[in-house]
Amino acid sequence: MFDVTIKCKCGAMMTAKTDRELTPEELKSLEGKECGVCYLRGLLERDLKSFA
């Protein structure tokens, strides 16, 4: 197992385990992805707009 650390666009650090070592291109594609908190906040904001 390989440990992967990714920085969210909000600055939070996310960690994950993978079965194989990711290539530099794969790691770069993960940069700036949303963490779970950012994802849920986005869903809540979207839902609030639909109720308004």
pLDDT digits (tens, 9 = 90+) for 35-44: 999 999 999 9
CA distance 25 to 38: 24
Other C-beta atoms lying within 10 Å of the C-beta of residue 38: 14
> What global pTM score does this model have?
0.66
**What single string gives the DSSP state of each residue in 28-46?**
HHHTT---HHHHHHHHHHH
What pLDDT does 9 receive? 87
* DSSP conformation class of 49: H
What pLDDT does 7 receive? 92
**Sole residue written with tokens 């920085």:** 7
Look up the domain containing 41 and give its range. 2-51
Q: How many domains does the chain have?
A: 1
What pLDDT does 32 receive? 87
pLDDT tens digit sequence for 4-37:
999 998 999 999 999 999 999 999 999 889 999 9
